């Protein structure tokens, strides 16, 4: 069956939208198979380059509109001054993002026409998978990048199937995922081979996950989840109560046995500056012989320097002993492009801008294994959360997903953070304002968590790291190796055949 015109675009849009429901937290996996199969079918029956581009774009439009709908929630947090802009902005984002699968379809269509003796359905499928993977990688890098919900996330419901990300990252996992999901359209042999590959990946994942137990002398970490709604956080009169709540939760029984207390992103409702009296107040949340790690807006004694979205480490004397400044800021949310060069533009939008940090860093403090902090949105960027040449022992993620309510967004955000743990082979401590806070081991397993809109604490020993993974050593070079391997299979020894997948 061949669809044409608006029917083809409509089928592509619907398939992309349904495929988004296979992402966390729903995991309706059969819809991922359906969505990718329809994508391949529509590509294979496209009449020309323009048709391939439009069908791929329509698929992406549906997929990213459903997958990123949660952004609208942030526009309606009181006072919701920009509420009417929420839907148009998310729709516009989906329109732009849709071009990435569209370009993949167009490029694969052009290459298939250029190589008319492609060798039938199997090689054509691999060709499309390679183009898909390249454009998914580009989506994570072009225009500062937006690698939300890469295809490999559909396996997050079963951790052993995520382990190949430690070899070639989530984009490489997405390459294999595309081939597996699309295999039914390439015939029963391809489908059977996909099942064998999936089974082998599962068995290998189970094998490597025989991790070492937590050491008896591992530092005890206390994660604080205050569950303070974003509308309340914005009220100046509520600030003393917010701070009191954070300190009270931190001092719950067992406080004297804790090494590190972790608060979420921008948990401190005041500007944190050196030598401020506020630091003495925060010292009340520092455990004996330990530290408070908290998200905060950090300033300096010189107001002209600006303000950073930071993680600060505070000791028992109320001193800032280390800090990390967020590097990958959210465009239009945390910074206005060219806000210094074009001040009137920043004023027109009506928001200030955070300053950009220096880069990923490994923080070392006495009594605590070295760690790499990253803040909120930074969790979605593979290979960009640790300092090159300074491998840490664990990852620390602080975030404030209160902006997005009970949508799918916070759960998908957590999945991204878990994939960073798998890729790097490092345990993850995650503190979120309204959830989901979690302790994740070096294989991406959730060992303890607090769900959305729950107030409380998690006390847990710091899990051990794995040995350095291939991806943590070489990053996306491992992905390039896999892409070149698949591309080589496509172009080498092509049989003289013009079989179609249809």
Token readout for 96 is: 């732009």
Angle between helices 99-114 and 49-67 (to 10 degrees): 150
Specify the pairing of strand 260-262 against strand 446-450.
unpaired
Sheet strands side by side (includes 368-375): 363-365, 368-375, 394-399, 428-432, 437-440, 446-450
Q: Which of 73, 136, 265, 424 is catalytic?
A: 265
Q: Report whether 199 contacts 54 (CB < 8 A).
A: no
Token readout for 337 is: 């492009």
Cα(384)–Cα(144) distance, integer angstroms = 12
Nearest alpha carbon to residue 361 among 413, 326, 313: 326
Q: Let me know if 131 is a catalytic residue.
A: no
Nearest alpha carbon to residue 169 among 389, 395, 421: 421
Cα(435)–Cα(397) distance, integer angstroms = 12
Cα(119)–Cα(117) distance, integer angstroms = 5
How many other CB atoms sit within 10 Å of the CB of residue 202? 15
Q: Which of 73, 131, 136, 326 is catalytic?
A: 326
Q: Which of 233, 376, 423, 424 is catalytic?
A: 376
Nearest alpha carbon to residue 150 among 130, 172, 181: 172
Nearest alpha carbon to residue 218 among 462, 467, 466: 462
CA distances from 33 to 28, 37, 108, 122, 442 (A): 10, 6, 20, 17, 29
Answer positive or negative: Cα dihedral of 232, 350, 374, 357: negative
Mention every residue, 6+ apart, whose C-beta is less than 8 A from residue 66. Answer: 16, 17, 20, 21
Nearest alpha carbon to residue 96 among 122, 123, 68: 68
Which positions are annotated as active-site residues? 265, 326, 376
């Amino acid at each position: 069956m061949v669809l044409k015109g608006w029917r083809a675009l409509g089928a592509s849009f619907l398939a992309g939208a349904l495929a988004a429901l296979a992402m966390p937290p729903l995991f309706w996996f059969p819809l991922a198979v359906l969505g990718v199969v329809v994508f391949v079918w529509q590509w294979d029956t496209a009449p020309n380059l323009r048709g391939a581009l439009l069908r791929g774009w329509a698929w992406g439009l549906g997929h990213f509109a459903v997958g990123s709908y949660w952004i609208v929630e942030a526009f309606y947090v009181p006072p919701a001054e920009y509420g009417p802009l929420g839907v148009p902005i998310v729709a516009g984002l989906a329109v732009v993002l849709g071009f990435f699968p569209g370009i993949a379809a167009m490029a694969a269509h052009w290459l298939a026409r250029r190589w008319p003796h492609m060798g039938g359905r199997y090689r054509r499928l691999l060709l499309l998978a390679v183009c898909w993977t390249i454009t998914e990688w580009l989506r994570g890098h072009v225009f500062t990048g937006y690698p939300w919900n890469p295809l490999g996330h559909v396996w997050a419901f079963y951790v052993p199937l995520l382990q190949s990300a430690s070899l070639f990252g989530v984009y490489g996992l997405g390459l294999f995922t595309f081939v597996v999901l699309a295999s039914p359209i390439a015939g029963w042999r391809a489908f059977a081979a996909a099942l064998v590959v999936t089974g082998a990946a599962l068995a290998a994942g189970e094998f490597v996950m025989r991790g070492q137990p937590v050491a008896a002398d591992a530092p005890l970490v206390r994660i604080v989840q205050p569950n303070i709604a974003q509308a309340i956080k914005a009220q100046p009169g509520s600030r003393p109560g917010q701070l009191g709540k954070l300190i009270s939760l931190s001092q719950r029984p067992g406080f004297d046995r804790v090494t590190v207390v972790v608060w979420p992103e921008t948990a401190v409702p005041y500007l944190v500056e050196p030598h401020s009296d506020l630091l003495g107040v925060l010292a009340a949340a520092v455990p004996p012989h330990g530290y408070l790690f908290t998200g905060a807006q950090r300033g300096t004694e010189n107001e002209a320097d600006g303000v950073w979205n930071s993680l600060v480490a505070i000791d028992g004397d109320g001193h800032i002993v280390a800090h990390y400044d967020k590097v990958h800021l959210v465009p239009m949310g945390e910074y206005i492009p060219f806000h210094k060069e074009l001040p009137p533009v920043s004023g027109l939008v009506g928001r200030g801008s955070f300053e950009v940090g220096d880069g990923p860093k490994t923080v070392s403090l006495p009594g605590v294994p070295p760690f790499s902090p990253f803040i909120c949105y930074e969790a979605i960027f593979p290979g960009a959360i640790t300092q090159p040449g300074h491998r840490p022992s664990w990852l620390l993620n602080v975030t404030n997903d209160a902006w997005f309510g009970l949508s799918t967004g916070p759960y998908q955000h957590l999945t991204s953070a878990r994939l960073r743990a798998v890729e790097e082979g490092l345990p993850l401590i995650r503190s979120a304002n309204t959830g989901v806070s979690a302790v994740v081991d070096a294989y991406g397993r959730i060992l303890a968590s607090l769900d959305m809109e729950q107030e409380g604490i998690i006390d847990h020993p710091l899990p051990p790291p794995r040995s350095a993974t291939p991806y943590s050593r070489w990053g996306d070079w491992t992905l390039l190796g896999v892409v070149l391997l698949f591309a080589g299979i496509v172009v080498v020894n092509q049989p003289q055949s013009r079989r179609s997948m249809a």
